[in-house]
Structure 1
Amino acid sequence: MLAGTAATALAGPWVFNRLLPGRSTILQLAVVAAIISFPVWLAIGAFETGFTGSWPLNDLPMQYLRIFAISMIVLGGGYIAARALGMIGGPAGGEPAEISPVPGFLERLPAKYRGAALYAVSSEDHYLRVHTDRGEELILMRLADAMRELDGADGLQTHRSWWVARDGVAEASRDNGKQMLVLKSGVAAPVSRSFAKAVRDASLT
């Protein structure tokens, strides 16, 4: 019991806030259950064998699955109860909750960027420059991977090397005939011809 409680306290926040932020609640609970079942499984096995280590190998998988199933039931019941008591937020009006992927993405940056407003990301060779209201930071990441991680965020690709958040745009401008989006930080993000229509459709120009 103590092993399961300690594992839940550690695994729960990590899975919900860092590993799988914004993902299906069932998936999050299943991952937490799988993690916390392991120390419980070890503790029960050690207790049943008198800490001799001579465990019946044939029974080990089924024993783990039984513990996993119990963990899922307990975690699911606790989650439903917490929702009913208003201890955690839930979808409004029966609609799925919209959870922004931005906070999870910003976890890749140093601690000072936690809770920052994301303005844009731009590709520089093998690195990605992350533009926020608290400054800029370079991280080792491809733009394509960043855009997959930011899928669902309110923003769009404006250039082969730029993704811009709608709330990060201060104004649209032109420089020598080239369309630009000026971020709130003052940085100008280019808009290429192939993405110009998407930018117009987003009412950013």
Structure 2
Amino acid sequence: MKYRAFAILTLFVIAFSGCKDVAKINADEAGEVITEYLTANPEYKTGRFNFGELKFNSQKDMLELEKYKTLASDGYVSLALQESKKKFLSKDSSFVYIIKLTDKASDLVLKQDEDKATVKVVTYELASEKPVNFNRVNDNNAKVTVSLKKVNTPFSSFQKNADDNSNFITKTYRLKLHKEEGWKVVK
């Protein structure tokens, strides 16, 4: 009888000590929840990208053509010269290219129209060197402020304001405790 009572008591102690108290959360666990959320819902900045039949005339257009040639060398677009005209006694020439998106660009293209596409120009990742600023509101809610570092995509040369003042952004997420799922980010 003593042995049976001791076994039951030991079983209860093991069962209750093995259960993790999900209501408790610290800065490291909050960082893991944010990382998991960012994997499923990445933060990014978009820009517009022209493709199809494009004509390049002036010196300014030639700088734009260099952006496309860089993308072509990386395999994100294909360039096909359709027409080339040299203007007599002029520095400017005229080039007409057919530009097509390749399969490699599909992860970065969000929306595609007939001759324009919305592409990711910058993605943001959780900065590992900066700590997570963690603020517990109550038992079921917490606010987490993190620093997200800027990572340029191959299409970054097509963003409107390429000369940003920082290489990171600061973002605050609200966490809520769900009984079955644990801590989750709420919008």
**Structure ranking higher on relative contact order (CA contacts 8 Å, 6+ apart):** 2
Same fold (TM over 0.5): no
Structure number with higher helix proportion: 1
TM-score bracket for the superposition, by shorter chain length = under 0.3
TM normalised by structure 2 equals 0.21
Larger radius of gyration: 2
Structure number with higher strand proportion: 2
